[in-house]
């Protein structure tokens, strides 16, 4: 076995940043760093002081092809070597599928290097040895082009490719054809022997485990079990996504990742509060509120930024999805209509589906009364009809 040479690309911190952390992103089998493009755009905008290092797998994208076998542990060591070339230190890591296996291996073997771990559509063991052996044989015999049809069915939710025939999904399948056949086969063989299940109870790195609603490879059930086995993990499901959730749903994926990073990056309450506030409410809302600040209202704005967003919303005991549910129920009960509108948008940003938001209001009607819930339902309907998707931040 050998440690392969890995390469990638780095998104630098903003020129104005006085200090910077590092986020490492690892892709899935058959994809390149481009699978993270949408997530990187969101994270870099929300956290301009963060450097983002994206790493390609062997024979994928920028990384050279290899003909020598390797293990997931050796991919983890190769990742560390590139991180050290980029400046070293502790870092956040997020991996998708095979990339998630590499990230988990880092958490198991080098926990002192990690600030947090995010595992998207992955697990402590993915698939089985027979299936991976068959995939390796197919690619060696017929090339990666022979797995495009099967990958399309596994990677994307029903209707995704049809909704944007020339979009990132189609481009991802085109990239698959360019992956080196032998390197792809060796990646499958590395997955065939990977199993960190017995190690999970001892992995204490703060972790986020994310599934796609329509993922048939690493199902929601299997990802919940994976999260339950990790002592410091919490689970989230991304609605409307399949196996390549960060590509299909970059805004929802970035929101979850930002929440994890913000929880586990040492910073002052004011700075972290503003980051959380922007992540939950969106730049347009926060920029408008900031622009309206006067000498008289500045102390109040600082108060809510530090204590509401920097202290309460940043606490790890509830996820942002759960905090959105509690917030909506409280606002409906109190009849706070302006805040309801704002937090319906925030709930979508935090990953709640429209059906879930409607269900929260329906449930609240039992305890807050029909008039309050009726008014909230009307506001919800107006937000859903807005021309700009309330789940998409406006960066203008």
Q: How far apart are CA 107 and CA 209, in angstroms?
A: 13
Res 306: pLDDT: 82
As given in the structure block, the two tokens for residue 302 are: 């600082």
Q: Strands 114-120 and 91-96: what pairing? A: parallel
**The whole model's pTM is what?**
0.72
- The DSSP H or E segment spanning 340 is helix 337-349
93 contacts 24 by C-beta, under 8 angstroms:
yes
Res 103: pLDDT: 98
Q: How far apart are CA 121 and CA 237, in angstroms?
A: 10
Pick the closest to residue 248 from 283, 281, 223, 211 (CA basis).
211
Q: CA dihedral defined by 155, 44, 394, 293, rounded to 10 degrees? A: 150
Res 88: pLDDT: 86
Q: Which residues pair with 238 in a beta bridge?
A: 212
Q: How far apart are CA 207 and CA 226, in angstroms?
A: 11
Q: Which residues pair with 53 in a beta bridge?
A: 10, 24
Res 395: pLDDT: 30
As given in the structure block, the two tokens for residue 294 are: 């006067």
Pick the closest to residue 78 from 131, 144, 8 (CA basis).
8
Pick the closest to residue 379 from 333, 334, 345, 353 (CA basis).
345
pLDDT in tens, 81-123: 999 999 888 999 999 999 999 999 999 999 999 999 999 999 9
Q: Which residues pair with 313 in a beta bridge?
A: none
Q: How far is CA 282 from CA 117, 149, 167, 255, in A?
A: 24, 37, 25, 10
* Ordered structural domains, the chain, with CATH: 8-263 (3.40.50.1820), 269-384 (1.20.1290.10)
Q: Which residues of the chain have pLDDT under 50?
A: 390-396
């Amino acid at each position: 076995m050998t440690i392969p040479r890995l390469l990638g690309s780095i998104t630098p911190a903003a020129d104005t940043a006085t200090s910077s952390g590092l986020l490492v992103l690892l892709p899935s089998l058959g994809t390149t760093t481009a699978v993270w493009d949408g997530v990187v755009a969101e994270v870099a905008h929300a956290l301009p002081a963060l450097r983002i290092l994206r790493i390609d797998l062997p024979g994928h994208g920028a990384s050279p092809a290899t003909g020598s076998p390797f293990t997931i542990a050796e991919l983890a060591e190769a990742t560390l070597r590139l991180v050290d070339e980029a400046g070293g230190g502790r870092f956040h890591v997020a991996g998708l599928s095979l990339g998630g296996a590499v990230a988990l291996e880092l958490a198991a073997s080098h926990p002192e290097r990690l600030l947090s771990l995010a595992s998207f559509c992955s697990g402590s063991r993915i698939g089985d040895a027979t299936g991976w052996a068959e995939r390796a044989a197919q690619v060696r015999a017929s090339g990666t082009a022979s797995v495009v049809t099967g990958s399309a069915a596994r990677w994307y939710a029903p209707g995704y490719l049809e909704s944007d025939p020339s979009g990132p999904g189609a481009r991802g399948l085109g990239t698959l054809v360019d992956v080196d056949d032998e390197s792809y086969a060796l990646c499958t063989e590395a997955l065939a022997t990977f199993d960190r299940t017995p190690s999970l109870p001892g992995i204490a790195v703060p972790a986020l485990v994310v599934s796609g609603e329509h993922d048939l490879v690493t199902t929601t059930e299997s990802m919940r079990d994976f999260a339950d086995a990790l002592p410091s993990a919490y689970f989230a499901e991304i609605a409307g996504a399949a196996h390549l959730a960060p590509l299909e749903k970059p805004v929802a994926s970035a929101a979850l990742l930002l929440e994890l990073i913000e929880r586990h990056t040492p910073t002052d309450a004011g700075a972290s509060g503003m980051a959380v506030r922007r992540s939950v409410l969106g730049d347009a809302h926060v920029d408008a509120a900031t622009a309206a600040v006067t000498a008289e209202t500045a102390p109040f704005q600082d108060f809510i930024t530090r204590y509401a967003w920097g202290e309460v919303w940043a606490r790890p005991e509830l996820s942002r999805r759960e905090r959105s549910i509690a917030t909506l129920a409280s606002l409906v009960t109190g009849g706070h209509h302006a805040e309801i509108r704002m937090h319906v948008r925030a709930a979508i940003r935090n990953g709640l589906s429209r059906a879930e938001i409607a269900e929260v209001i329906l449930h609240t009607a039992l305890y807050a009364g029909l008039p309050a819930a009726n008014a909230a339902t009307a506001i919800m309907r107006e937000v859903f009809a807005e021309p700009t998707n309330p789940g998409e931040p406006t960066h203008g």
